[in-house]
Amino acid sequence: MTKASFLGELRLRLASLPDADIQEALEYYEEMIDDRIEAGMDEEEAVRTLGTPRAAADSIMLDMPLSKIIKSKYDRKKEWRRWEIILLVLGSPVWIPLIAAAFAVFLSVYVVLWAVVLSVWAVDLSVAAVALGFIVSAFTGMTPASAFLYLGTALFSAGLSMVGFIACIKLSASGAKISLYIPRLIKSLLIGRRDPYENHEKRD
């Protein structure tokens, strides 16, 4: 595939976006291709390293703000047919509660996810506080036997807290990944499977 054909197909796949965004994406990929050619690749090889125009378009759309995707999905320039408006109004008792329910589900997932993460952090901090408490108790005039017992318990609690700290870090990282995945899932559902490039080929 040549640079011109890659950029041409990419333009068609991004046709629903604002012109400024399309131009920015095209300039970015054109610069990437030119950089590879300057590095010694031939044109087709340079284009091949970027993947397919469809994959590039999907990546661009997923990186777009959700508001822009919604605007591109429901282009204001499109004139609504009368039957579409009637169906939209008649179906509002169904699709409005469905949208509200979907939003509530996603919000609940966020709340539950971070509630679990915060709970684990709270438990780990409690164990660390227990370790500190036993250390203080071990040096406040207890008998030698009690002091050793308290100090041993403090060391055990401190070790447990360190292990818990590592687990908390990993759990927080996983929570952050899931939090980032959910908006991308919503964007993917909004983008859908519609392929404007294939529709363009059929018209040609």
**Residue 42 belongs to some domain of the structure:** yes
Which of 55, 14, 7 is closest to 33 using CA atoms?
7
> Total structural domains in the chain?
2
Q: What are the pLDDT digits (tens) for 145-197? A: 777 888 888 888 889 899 999 999 998 988 888 877 777 676 666 665 444 44
Predicted pLDDT of residue 93: 84
**Residue 88 belongs to some domain of the structure:** no
Domain that holds residue 59: 3-78
Q: Which residue has the higher pLDDT, 35 or 68?
A: 35
Same domain, 120 and 181: yes
Same domain, 100 and 71: no
**Residue 200 belongs to some domain of the structure:** no
Contact, 22 vs 10, CB < 8 A? no
Q: What are the pLDDT digits (tens) for 91-105? A: 878 878 887 887 788
Residue 192, CB-side half-sphere exposure with 13 Å CA sphere: 10
Least confident segment among 33-37, 139-143, 157-161: 139-143
